[in-house]
Structure 1
Amino acid sequence: MNRTVTRFLLVGLPAVLALALAACETPVQVQKFPEMTFAHLAPISLDVASVEVVARYQPPMKAPNVDHLVPAPPIKALRRWAADRLKPVGRSGTAQLVIHVASVIETPLEQKTGLKATFTKQQAQRYDFLVEASLEVTDARRRGRAEARVTRFTTMREDVSLNERDRIWFKEVEAMMTDFNAEMEKNIRQYLGAWLK
């Protein structure tokens, strides 16, 4: 009888330990970010039959680029901007939003060493955000073009969590797109006034 109890304890102990370890592990909560949209802004009505988005920029999907890891990739934000803001109301002609660059580039920062550095949280990475696009309008009689280029950058400490990093990335893209929207709308009104309705 004593042998049976011993076998049960030896067989059951690894299972109990595995369950105990699994219970101690805290799963990382994946953040949900709001959809980046421009639908709350009045559409820009253009005297063209269609609006297209042409992406000349293709995310490299490798370092130093991290735009494909950002919760709201700049290229997706530019496509959404075009869908929400540019409204074709004409019978002929085409407007193309040409995306030239929509990148986020990570650069490791040099870290101090020594005793003091051991007790100091340092900035570890720099992130450079860039969007550059042009709105090119053509019809049977004329052509026009407006463009906008916006840059931002931020740095992050060495102890930043993945969730905090994603939150910072999202806020930077959101701020960059706010600037892009203002710059592009200003340039559309200045250079493409003949197509505005």
Structure 2
Amino acid sequence: MRFPRLSSLLRPLALMLVAVTMAACATEGPPKRGTPELRFTNLPPLNVAAQGPRIQTTYVSPLRNPNVEHLMPVSPERAIRQWVQDRLHTTGAGTDTVVVEIRDASVVETRLNTKKGVVGFFTDDQEAKYDAKANVVLQMRGPDGRVKAEAFTSAWRTRSINEKASLADREQIWFDLVEELMRDVDQQMETGVRQYFSDYLLR
């Protein structure tokens, strides 16, 4: 009596395992990149004896070129909101309220001239530059809405990108741009809070 060889028995099983593995890969899709975070928890909080903070935005992104903040992994507005959460702590005491108003949180792209033809093939030009702006007002308002104290920041940063940059390179440049912008916002805001909110600031 002849028995089938072991290899002939395992071949259908191997083909089945390959088919299952390919189907699983097709349903799972490519791995997603993690969303970067811009946090300020490494800095000491600014503790204010008041209600809030309440954040309101008067800046409305046009959501189209030349503005690109809506395409960024971390937009200036999102970074400003994170700054408020991480650095501006209130005790809930009294009837006055801290209000943070975001008046500008834009990033505008300007396309630059690049060399064409053979010369352009052998050169690396800057393809575009990005101008980021942040205009934020911090107010202490009484229960009647009257402004009792105010501090503000107006920051601006710019970055350019090479024409041969990948999408990952572009997103990293955007992130670095917002990080630099928020460094200025943080410094100006802390100075303003310590100067104009001294009656509310807990030592």
Q: TM-score, normalised by structure 1?
A: 0.80
1:31 touches 1:163 (CA, 8 Å); kept in 2?
no
For 1:168 and 1:194, how far apart are their aligned partners in 2? Answer: 40
Distance 1:104 1:28, change over 3 A: farther
CA distance in 1, matches of 2:164, 2:115: 15
* Overall identity of the aligned pairs, in %: 33
Distance (whole Å) between structure 1 residues aligned to residue 111 and residue 147 of structure 2: 47
TM-score norm. by structure 2 comes to 0.78
Q: Provide the C-alpha distance between the structure 1 equivalents of 2:190 and 2:115, rounded to a whole number of angstroms.
A: 44
1:4-153 superposed matches below 5 A: 30-89=32-91, 90-113=93-116, 115-139=118-142, 143-153=148-158
- Gap runs ≥5 in structure 1: 1-18, 20-26
- What is the CA distance between 1:139 and its match in structure 2? 2.5
Q: 1-side partners of 2:94 and 2:57: how far apart?
A: 25
Q: Distance in 2 between matches of 1:142 and 1:60?
A: 30
SS of aligned partner of 2:115? coil
Letter in 1 for 2:138: L
Alignment check: 8 A CA contact 2:139 2:147 kept: no
Q: Distance in 2 between matches of 1:179 and 1:188?
A: 14
What SS does the aligned partner of 1:195 have?
Answer: coil
Aligned partner of 1:178 in structure 2 is 183
Gap regions ≥5 residues in structure 2: 1-21, 23-28
CA RMSD of aligned residues (A): 2.2
Distance 1:176 1:183, change over 3 A: same
Instruction: Letter of the 2:122 partner, please give it.
Output: F
Q: CA deviation at 1:115?
A: 4.3
Report what 1:195 is aligned to: 200
Query: Hey, what's the Cα distance between the residues in 2 that align with 1:32 and 1:152?
Result: 25
What residue is the counterpart of 1:156 in the other structure?
A: 161
Question: For this pair of structures, how many residues does the alignment match?
Answer: 173
Distance of 2:30 and 2:158 partners within structure 1: 27
Q: For residues 104 and 142 of structure 1, what CA distance do their matches in structure 2 show?
A: 30
- CA–CA distance in structure 2, aligned partners of residues 121 and 173 of structure 1: 24
Aligned 8 A contact 1:45 1:86 in 2: yes
Q: Give the distance between the partners of 1:122 and 1:159, measured in 2 at CA.
A: 8
Change (3 A) 1:194 1:129: same
